[in-house]
Amino acid sequence: MRRYDTTLENAYESTRAFAGGVWAMHRILNPEIMAKLEGALTEAERQGAAFVANYQAG
């Protein structure tokens, strides 16, 4: 999740769009950023599932 947070922070900091308006979200969360965020979530889910499996295995 740290990668997700960092990617999101960098997206907001690297744009001049005002995030408070819905109209600007497409400029902040463009397809490239969304792909990175989705990849970060997928990795976090994978790591979470591995943690649970290891925990249940004892």
Digit-by-digit pLDDT tens for the chain (58 residues) are: 789 889 888 888 877 766 566 667 777 888 999 999 999 999 999 999 999 999 999 8
CA-to-CA dists, residue 43 to 13, 21, 33, 34, 51, angstroms: 23, 30, 15, 14, 12
Q: What is the pTM of this model?
A: 0.69
What phi and psi, each to the nearest 5 degrees, are found at residue 15? Answer: -120, 160
